[in-house]
Structure 1
Amino acid sequence: MEDIAKVERFTVSEFQSRVSRAQQAMREHQLDGLLVSSMDNIRYFTGIDSTFWESYARPWFVLVRAEGDPIAIVPEIGRSIMETLWVKEIRSWPSPRRDDDGTSLVIQAVSELPRRFGRVGAELGMELRVGMPVSQVLDIMKGLQGVELVDGSKAIWQLRMIKSEAEVARIRTAIDIAGGVYDTVPDFVRIGDTEKRIQREFRARLNSSGASSIPVVICRSDIGGPFEITGGPRDRKIADGDLLFIDTGTTFDGYYCDYDRNYQVGDATDALLQAHEKVWQANEIGLKSVRAGVSAASVFQAMAKVLSSGEEDLNSNGRMGHGLGLRVTEPPSVKVEDQTVLQAGMVLCIEPGLEYEPGKIVLHEETVLVTEGGMELLTKRASRQLPRIY
């Protein structure tokens, strides 16, 4: 287990390396800069840790230049914390200011960039969100003269999909925190407990174990398996014959874990046990398929062969796995259409699932670090035999 006390702070060289890689990506994608405004991308380039993004009142920006250090363009209220970080050039304004909430400062900073390509990438594409109103994006676009604001998602994900050792250390720690709580579920859950009570106790144990934040805890149950896994916990009491499904996206220092565990409640039907074995085997095959140089699609296809004779139905939920990092889900997607070539340093969640009867779902999820020769399993492998709750 990764010792929380031994996970060192990010060094300045960590962020300088990210900027250097970003500048290389900008050359490849013909960009003069990257303008980011979302919580996770600002954190990625600066190291800022703040809950201020829970408010939509004030936009924040960082302009990563193709040459030189980034510029932070932040509300005056955030200037002091930004000054404690490694970014030296900080521009600010008294926000919120409805007539000009940082817009002119952004336009000025972008306009000052040396123009090689006349293009600046922004968070306009795949699995990204801008941290400002759409009307402000349009105002920035309108105010720029001779510079085009374009989709920078390919360059951004080119960086973020590959994790440094320091990033992986944080993911390991989040995983270990969750794993310790998963192991105790049969000790504190009993037949007759409600999903809401189980979720509250699970969250409390994550918190006391050192979680930084707990954005996601899914707790669902039903006879033979949950019928869906996206809703919140209910007042439903778990009962004999249920499959209890718990999934968590818990963070440590901004980085997520994401994996689930299943628990047999009382006695299970043969159909459930057979489905569980099939999905467990598919997960095993998926894990063994991961290595640098293969495509995300090939990992999907390997699991699909175990679960079904065809791929279409299994792909109906979108995918059977995804990347992981500063977001609970990141590219690539483990699905039949995603031809992303896996590279050493990627962290993936391998997540096969099966609806073995109408309204009865079984899923297994593990997390791996892609290596040149294969993968390193970061989660403790789920037991082949379902843990039991009485």
Structure 2
Amino acid sequence: MQPEAPGRGFPVSEFETRTEKTQALMAKAGLAGLLLMSEAEVRYFSGFQTLFWQSPTRPWFLFVPASGKPVAVIPEIGAALMRQTWLEDIRTWSAPSPDDDGISLLSDLLSPLAAGKERLGVLKGHETSLRMPLGDWERLLSELPELEIADATPLVRSLRMVKSPAEIEKLAHICAIGSATFEQVPELVAEGDPLEDVFRSFRRAALLNGADDVPYLVGAAEQGGYADVISPPSRAPLKTGDILMLDTGAVWDGYFCDFDRNWAVGRADDEARRAYDVLWRATEAGLEAARPGATCRDLFLAMGRVIAEMDTSGGDVGRLGHGLGMQLTEWPSHAAFDESVIEENMVLTLEPSLSYGNGVMMVHEEDIVIRPGGAALLTRRAPVELPVL
């Protein structure tokens, strides 16, 4: 049975609020404009949602001015869809055009800022990328030599980390779909099934349960545990004694869930059961620590103390969870280096992992939202004991 879905899209007021908050922060930072080029940021401010981002052929630009609505500078092929958003100023060119892929339009748009020797914010920091040819970027700057380029990563990061009620509703819905699909796995999977077929069965079930897509599905099945969690599935059949793990990033209306589940096939040995128990309790420690005012480092340390009962490697995977939203992984990171302060309405994953035995590992993951009194699960909590298929 499919969970009841919230409405798709957002009211115009959602985008107005995002833009007003951004412009207030821009004023404090002394930014006269913000130039965005990546899918999540363009969608965050416009509502423009398309799979056409999968093609690297065309760049897409969105300019947030100091006041007023954002301006889209996009290939003509996207004009009809962009006109369905709340934006009014949409400037297009016939693309691809390698000799001038929107650069003249951008230069015209930004020239008043350059004339006033103003500061333009762009994303320069960790987990960002320049989604346009470097040569075009250099050309743009050469045409606007008086324009000062500033890093707007902290500004955009602070906005996107804290979700609106409407965003949380969408995230809760896709997490419910993911949870329902994981609960069907015992009906979908049997000993002898090739892992490749297990992946296909899971994807089909998630789509039938209401997911729009399952762009991310990884996992493993090996004796007593698994060696990695990112390899493509093979045709190897499930065998008694395997630990099966599936980790899904399913999507509904542009928002992701990201969590996993573990099962033993036929039977589980004592070491695998212990690893599962340690990770379940590490997740409990993360849930307890995830409160407004705590830091991501606090969550990392809280989970790490429990993990150390079985694995003292010190968190070689780098982090034990992250932000979640329009992207499978977002800011922040539950890691020793991340002092980001947890705030109400952040949506996060808790993802403790450990190594044990003869070079195997286990990972556990849940999705949560931060409420005034602490963390609330968006996923339906995994069983206390390692389930056996």
Tell whether 2:87 aligns with 1:87: yes
1:31–1:117 contact (8 Å) kept in structure 2: no
Partner residue of 1:290? 290
Partner residue of 1:231? 231
Partner residue of 1:213? 213
Counterpart residue type for residue 143 of structure 1: E
Partner residue of 1:59? 59
Residues 127-169 of structure 1 show CA distances to partners (whole Å, capped at 9, x for unaligned) of: 1223212222222222223112232211111110010011111
Partner residue of 2:50? 50
Query: Closer, same or farther in 2 for the Cα pair 1:282/1:319, shift >3 Å?
Result: same
Q: How many Å apart are 1:200 and its aligned residue?
A: 0.6
1:198–1:219 contact (8 Å) kept in structure 2: no
Q: How many Å apart are 1:44 and its aligned residue?
A: 0.7
Distance 2:375 2:315 in 1: 24
Q: How many Å apart are 1:181 and its aligned residue?
A: 0.9
1:25–1:158 contact (8 Å) kept in structure 2: no
Partner residue of 1:123? 123
SS in 1 for 2:218: strand
The equivalences for 1:212-361 within 5 A come to 212-308=212-308, 313-361=313-361
1:247–1:259 contact (8 Å) kept in structure 2: yes
SS in 1 for 2:74: strand
Structure 1 unaligned regions, length at least 5: none
Distance 1:103 1:44 in 2: 23
Greater shift in the superposed pair: 295-304 or 74-83: 74-83
Distance 1:62 1:286 in 2: 37
2:6–2:169 contact (8 Å) kept in structure 1: no
Distance 1:205 1:52 in 2: 25
Q: How many Å apart are 1:28 and its aligned residue?
A: 3.2
Instruction: State the TM-score, normalizing by the size of structure 1.
Output: 0.95
Counterpart residue type for residue 331 of structure 1: W
Distance 1:116 1:382 in 2: 57
The equivalences for 1:2-81 within 5 A come to 3-81=3-81
Q: How many Å apart are 1:91 and its aligned residue?
A: 0.8
Query: Closer, same or farther in 2 for the Cα pair 1:182/1:311, shift >3 Å?
Result: closer
Query: Closer, same or farther in 2 for the Cα pair 1:213/1:101, shift >3 Å?
Result: same
Q: How many Å apart are 1:264 and its aligned residue?
A: 1.1
Structure 2 unaligned regions, length at least 5: none
Distance 2:188 2:148 in 1: 57
Tell whether 2:165 aligns with 1:165: yes
Q: How many Å apart are 1:320 and its aligned residue?
A: 0.3
Residues 171-220 of structure 1 show CA distances to partners (whole Å, capped at 9, x for unaligned) of: 11111111111001011100111110000111111112221221101131
Residues 81-117 of structure 1 show CA distances to partners (whole Å, capped at 9, x for unaligned) of: 1111100111111111111100111122122349887
SS in 2 for 1:388: coil
Distance 2:57 2:173 in 1: 33
Instruction: State the TM-score, normalizing by the size of structure 2.
Output: 0.96
Partner residue of 1:140? 140
Query: Closer, same or farther in 2 for the Cα pair 1:203/1:23, shift >3 Å?
Result: same
Counterpart residue type for residue 126 of structure 1: H
Q: How many Å apart are 1:373 and its aligned residue?
A: 1.5
Greater shift in the superposed pair: 124-133 or 340-349: 124-133
Partner residue of 2:182? 182
SS in 1 for 2:45: helix
The equivalences for 1:183-198 within 5 A come to 183-198=183-198
Residues 325-383 of structure 1 show CA distances to partners (whole Å, capped at 9, x for unaligned) of: 11100111001110000110110000100002232111111111012221111111100
Q: How many Å apart are 1:49 and its aligned residue?
A: 1.6
1:107–1:143 contact (8 Å) kept in structure 2: yes
Q: How many residues align?
A: 389
Query: Closer, same or farther in 2 for the Cα pair 1:212/1:320, shift >3 Å?
Result: same
Q: How many Å apart are 1:6 and its aligned residue?
A: 3.3
Same amino acid, percent of matched pairs: 37
Tell whether 2:375 aligns with 1:375: yes
Distance 2:322 2:20 in 1: 26
Counterpart residue type for residue 308 of structure 2: S
1:279–1:352 contact (8 Å) kept in structure 2: yes
1:262–1:387 contact (8 Å) kept in structure 2: yes
Counterpart residue type for residue 363 of structure 1: V
1:174–1:252 contact (8 Å) kept in structure 2: yes
Counterpart residue type for residue 195 of structure 1: L
Query: Closer, same or farther in 2 for the Cα pair 1:298/1:213, shift >3 Å?
Result: same
SS in 1 for 2:325: coil
